[in-house]
Amino acid sequence: MTPNPNRYRRPASALLVLCIALGGACVTPGGPRGGGHPTDPDEDAVFATLVAGRAERNLRPPTWVSTLEPLAHEGAEALAGGAPGHVVGQEVVRKAVERFGHYISVWWAIVDDLRNVTWNPRLLSGRGLGVAVGVALMRTTAPGRYAVVIILPEPGASASP
CATH number of the domain that residue 27 is part of: 3.40.33
Residue-averaged pLDDT of the chain: 75
Measure CA 32 to chain center: 15
8 within a domain of the structure (yes/no) = no
132 within a domain of the structure (yes/no) = yes
- What type of residue is 42? D
Mean pLDDT of 98-113: 86
Q: What is this structure's pTM? A: 0.73
86 within a domain of the structure (yes/no) = yes
> Whole domain around residue 60: which residue ranges?
18-153
89 within a domain of the structure (yes/no) = yes
Q: For 106-151, write each residue's pLDDT tens digit.
A: 999 999 999 888 888 888 887 778 899 999 999 877 778 999 999 9
pLDDT of residue 14: 36
Measure CA 74 to chain center: 11
Mean pLDDT of 15-31: 31
Structural domain tally of the chain? 1
7 within a domain of the structure (yes/no) = no
Helix intervals (H) in 57-101:
69-80, 85-100
1 within a domain of the structure (yes/no) = no
Assess contact for 105 and 120: CB atoms under 8 A: no
Q: How far is CA 32 from CA 19, 61, 146, in A?
A: 18, 14, 27
Distance CA 17, CA 36 (A): 25
11 within a domain of the structure (yes/no) = no
Q: For 52-78, write each residue's pLDDT tens digit.
A: 999 999 999 999 988 899 999 999 999
71 within a domain of the structure (yes/no) = yes
Assess contact for 115 and 40: CB atoms under 8 A: no
Mean pLDDT of 15-33: 32
Distance CA 161, CA 153 (A): 12
pLDDT of residue 23: 30
pLDDT at 11 over 60: no
